[in-house]
Amino acid sequence: MTFDPEDSSDALNRSWSRTPAEGRATHAGPSSCRSGRARRVLSAAAIAVIVLGALSRLLWLADMEYKSDEREWVDTMVNLWHRPLSALAPESHHSGIPHSSGFFHFLRAISFASSNPLVMVGAIAGFSTAVMLLGLALGRRSPRDLVAVAMMGTSLTLFVGTRKIWTPDLIPAWLILGLVLWRASERARSPRVAAWLTGSAAFCFVMAPHMYLSAIPAAAAPTLALPLLWLLCRRTRPRRARIRAWVVSALAGWATFIPYVVARHSVHASPRIHPPLSAHEVGEVLKDALTLPSPLKIFLVYLWPSGQSMRATHPSLLLDLTLFWVLVAVTIWTPLFCAVLVRLLIRWRQTLGSPMVVVSLLVWMGTAAGVLFSRLGSYTNYWLAAVPFVYFVTAWAAYQSRWSLFSRILRPALWVASLVAFVATVHFVLLIHRSGGFPGEYGTSYRLQQGA
């Protein structure tokens, strides 16, 4: 087996917990037992947070966001259900850019071609939940994987994406699945299993743009850059079987876009005028990029404008608590992520030595560049593909070095941030359930619309 620096800290953590230091264990029996119990308690608490965060996606599905966009997609899918299965050709979108119909075909499969919006949103939430639980099952012995899955499972941004029927909603689930399988391939002892998991991860990354084209940077960066990084970095180069599996699976995944590309080129695209970039647009993208792990975008879009007017006319303790905890999550997550970016820059040699970390940063920067280039505005759905990679990078920084003071501070800080994010998400869910939706962007919930 080749040495893999990405797993070195996990291996060190496992060996440390299994093998006491010679000449010291005999003198530190009681304290060692207390330390072991503390680790077990923390591990159980981490697993509980992940399970609750994953299962919360299935709670009160009827409270989902259901506005004109969601109705449009439901109508599109119901019409598609009555057609025979076709190639992944484009479907028209209100943004003016025809996207792949892969989302509709996949949702058709996991919802058993149901025309019931509740079954559809349940399929979206259920797939996301299953991916989170799979990440827990495969990474339960790795502290790095546990904290990464915990961050993804408690993210309010990712949670809101599972409470509607919209094409970007399945992007994070496919990318999280790719990252989970990738990490499992890094730990696999059997070369055959490692190769199979590696190929599956590559294929999952390419499936994300079939859900929504904004995920193209998140698919292109891993599938194209990773083989090049393997060639450049001898220490992180895997076995040939894994490289071959990655290349073959990536090519097979991108081949599924051929029907889409052919159909797109057969339709004349209307020209678009791109005025010069303004400082406001650049500043908005930078703000969204630096606060991506936090729920700031959700706060500004869903809660802040309507919350202020509601507090003036209909005071509510639950509303105040929701605003408070979401702001606390924003306050904690933003400096943590900025500190991680600074750390990665300072330790640039170590950063470049981890191919998937480099790829994740390319996804993050590529998404920002794509948002600026498209000139469609900096909306939450355009950033969803980068969110899982940002959490992956953050978890890597926390467990990259066991003895680093930065990592020793960052590890508990990330668990606190995940717990705060979970509390904020719970309050958001309760607020939507109690109010039957929320004024402004969320609108009246599906449950209240059906009851009206």
Please check whether residue 323 lies inside any domain of the structure.
yes
Q: How many CB atoms lie within 10 A of CB 16?
A: 12
Residue 63 backbone dihedrals phi, psi, to 5 degrees: -85, 15
Is it the case that residue 271 has pLDDT exceeding 80? no
Is it the case that residue 84 has pLDDT exceeding 80? no
> How many domains in the chain?
1
pLDDT in tens, 184-210: 999 998 999 999 999 999 999 999 999
Mean confidence (pLDDT) of the chain: 87
Please check whether residue 391 lies inside any domain of the structure.
yes
- Please indicate whether residue 96 or residue 18 has the higher confidence score (pLDDT): 96
Provide the residue count of the chain.
Answer: 452
Nearest to 225 by CA among 246, 241, 242, 204: 246
- Please indicate whether residue 451 or residue 236 has the higher confidence score (pLDDT): 451
Is it the case that residue 276 has pLDDT exceeding 70? yes
In the predicted model, what is the mean pLDDT of residues 222-230? 93
Please check whether residue 6 lies inside any domain of the structure.
no
- Please indicate whether residue 96 or residue 91 has the higher confidence score (pLDDT): 91
What is the C-alpha separation between 410 and 342, in angstroms, rounded? Answer: 13
Please check whether residue 24 lies inside any domain of the structure.
no
Range of the domain at 139: 40-264+278-451
Q: How many CB atoms lie within 10 A of CB 334?
A: 17
Q: How many CB atoms lie within 10 A of CB 304?
A: 15
Please check whether residue 426 lies inside any domain of the structure.
yes
User: Given this model, what pLDDT does residue 22 score?
Assistant: 36
pLDDT in tens, 50-83: 899 999 999 999 999 999 888 888 988 888 888 7
Please check whether residue 224 lies inside any domain of the structure.
yes
What is the C-alpha separation between 314 and 309, in angstroms, rounded? Answer: 8
Please check whether residue 58 lies inside any domain of the structure.
yes
Is it the case that residue 125 has pLDDT exceeding 50? yes
Please check whether residue 11 lies inside any domain of the structure.
no
Contact predicate 321/427, CB 8 Å = yes
Q: How confident is the model at residue 1 (pLDDT cuts 50, 70, 90)?
A: very low
How far is the CA of 72 from the CAs of 67, 127, 238, 379, 442, in angstroms?
9, 22, 46, 19, 16
Q: How confident is the model at residue 452 (pLDDT cuts 50, 70, 90)?
A: low
Residue 189 backbone dihedrals phi, psi, to 5 degrees: -90, -30
- Model pTM? 0.90
Is it the case that residue 21 has pLDDT exceeding 50? no
In the predicted model, what is the mean pLDDT of residues 332-345? 96
